[in-house]
Amino acid sequence: MFELTSSIRENAPSMGQVMLDIVDLKKVYPTPKGDYVVLEDLQLQIKKEEFVTIIGHSGCGKTTLLSMIAGLNKISGGAIVLNGQPIIGPGPDRGVIFQSPSLLPWMTALENVMLAVNQVYPKATKTQKLDVAKYYLAKVGLSNDINKKARELSQGMQQRVGIARAFSLKPKVLLLDEPFGMLDSLTRGELQDVLLEVWNKEKITAIMITHDVDEAIFLADRVIMMTSGPKAQIGKIEEIKFERPRDRKSIIEHDDFYHYRKSLIDFLEH
């Protein structure tokens, strides 16, 4: 912890500066056969307003890493520093979008988002809060369904609400744990566009886990490739230099896309 003081940075980094600093991160799960080391010596810096995707084989510790950043999982060693403050628990400054939409099924879409809005804007008036919630629901294309119960919505629509909820928190970092993993490929494409559209407006630093190579390239500024566990680490980082805002069609037709794709697949198949 003492070395950390040197790496503490200003509270509000400008664009391009390191916002999230992961230092010597370690995660150990105790098992009856002895400790199982999931992550060890993991170093990663993520810059402000950067969109990073993390790709790796199942069980390599991607989700463990993300849930430690979210503060939902305890850190065994090292530290995660957000804006100069080490992370000790969960908080609304880190919005999380889970693989399952995790909406509260007994509430409407609007109530689900309002639950978040109420927590971040405790002093705002009821109408102001409603406006915020409705704004983000409109952004994800759900203006007409805000009063439907969450359980009545399709998986894709539920995940849209999940995106609206996460953005409405105005988080410093957005954490996405395979948010589109359970959707069919058409809906998945739609939601990638929705996500990018909202993200282009809000420019929130985003970290997303995915299994999908194309998705990783299409969304990210950098693709982080993780080695397989145990003791997983960062294996390779690929910078994606497409300009934003991105258009799916032109990116898929771009020569570089296949270059990036080959790089990712080569890494994953080794």
Partner 1 sequence: MKTSTIELNQKLETPGIFTSLLTKFRGNKPKTVATDLGSKVKNALLILGSIILFFAFWHFGSKALFNIEANVMIEAARKEGGDAAALATKNCIATGDLSCKPNALPSPADVWNAGLSMYKDYQVLSASKRKFYEETAQVNAQLKAQGKKTMVYTGRSSFVDRIGKSLLTVFAGVILAMFISIPIGILVGLNDKVKLMFNWIIQIFKPVSPVVWFLLVYMIIKTISKNIEMDKSFIICTVAVALCSMWATLVNTSVGVASVDKDYLNVANVLQLGFMKRIFKIILPSSLPMIFTGLRVTVSVAWMVLIAIELLAQSPGLGSFVWEEFQNGASDSNAKIIFAMFVIGIIGFLLDKIMLALQKTMVYSK
Half-sphere exposure of 181 (CA within 13 A, CB side): 16
91 contacts partner 1 (rule: CB under 8 A): yes
Q: How far is the CB of 103 from partner 1 (least distance, A)?
A: 8
Q: Return the number of the residue (111 or 197) whose C-beta is nearest partner 1.
A: 111
29 contacts partner 1 (rule: CB under 8 A): no
* Per-residue x/- track, 152-181, partner 1 (CB under 8 A): -----------------x------------
Q: Return the number of the residue (86 or 91) whose C-beta is nearest partner 1.
A: 91
Q: Return the number of the residue (183 or 223) whose C-beta is nearest partner 1.
A: 183
Q: Which amino acid is at 32?
A: P
* Residue span binding partner 1 (CB under 8 A) among the ranges 5-13, 40-48, 64-72, 234-242: 64-72
Q: How far is the CB of 129 from partner 1 (least distance, A)?
A: 14
Q: Return the number of the residue (175 or 196) whose C-beta is nearest partner 1.
A: 175
* Residue span binding partner 1 (CB under 8 A) among the ranges 12-20, 96-104, 224-232, 233-241: 96-104
Which of 12, 15, 88, 104 is the binder for partner 1 (CB under 8 A)?
104
Q: How far is the CB of 132 from partner 1 (least distance, A)?
A: 14
Q: Which residues bind partner 1 (CB under 8 A)?
A: 70-72, 89-92, 94-96, 98, 100, 102, 104-107, 115-116, 119, 149, 151, 169
